[in-house]
Chains A and B, each alone.
Chain A
C-alpha cells in the first residue's frame, strides 16, 4: 500500500495558463475525492467519483475546472485559464466506499501558485 499519490507537488504558473494535476488513489479504493485548501482554511469539497462516474460537483467548481477519472483508477483535475484566486493546495483523497464514514485517505496535495 503506497498511499494516495499526487503529482506534481508544486506548480507555479502564470495567469491564463492551463494546469493539470494527477491523483493516484490507493489501488482497491473505488471512491476518489478532490478538495481545495487555501491558506488558513480547512479543506473544501470540490467533487467526487465512484469508479469512473463523477457523482457530485461543488459550486466551487467553476466551468474552468474539469475533473476526470477515465478508467476508474487515477484522476486528473484540470484548471483552464488560471486566475490568481486559484492559488491553493489541491488535495486528493480516496476511500473504499464501504468502510466507515469519513475514513478518507489523503494525499500530500498539489500546491498551485498563480502569478
Chain B
C-alpha cells in the first residue's frame, strides 16, 4: 500500500528566503508523485507532478520538486518565498494508473513572515 509522510506540519520562513517542504513516500511500484496547494477558502489545485522522465519537475508560481528514488523523496522547493505563497501544501502519491486515485500526506502549512 502506498503512503506519504510530510515532515513538519507547519513551516515558517521569511519573505525572500528558501522554501523547502519535505515529502517521503512509500510505494510498491514506480509512483506518480504530486504536490497540491490549498489557499484559504479555495479548493486544492495541482502545483506540479512527476510521472516519468526528468526527475526535476517545475510547477506553477516558481515551485519545483525533485524525485529521488534512492531516498524515496519528493521535496518541494522555491528559491525565494513570497507572501502569496502562504497556504497548505499536500504531497500525494498514486500507483494506480487507471483510477487516478491519490493518497495524500497530512499537509504542511506554510507561513511567510514579512
* Residues of A in contact with B (beta carbons under 8 Å apart): 3-4, 31, 33, 40-45, 48, 55-56, 91, 93, 95, 97, 100-109
Interface residues of B (CB under 8 A from A): 4, 9, 32, 34, 36, 41-46, 49, 51, 90, 92, 94, 97, 99-107
The distance from the CB of B49 to the nearest CB of chain A, in whole angstroms, is 6
A81 to B36, CA, bound (A): 33
Given A91-B43, A107-B43, A108-B42, do A102 and B106 touch, yes or no (CB 8 Å)? no
Tell me if B34 and A106 are in contact (CB < 8 A): no
Q: Complex Cα distance A107/B45, Å? A: 9
- Known contacts A45-B102, A48-B101, A97-B100; is-contact A102 B94 (Cβ 8 Å): yes
Contacts of B9 in A (CB 8 A): 40
A101 touches which of B32, B45, B107 (Cβ 8 Å): B32
| Complex contacts, A31 vs chain B, CB 8 Å | 100
| Chain A residue with Cβ nearest B44 | A106
**A41 & B44 in contact (Cβ 8 Å cutoff):** no
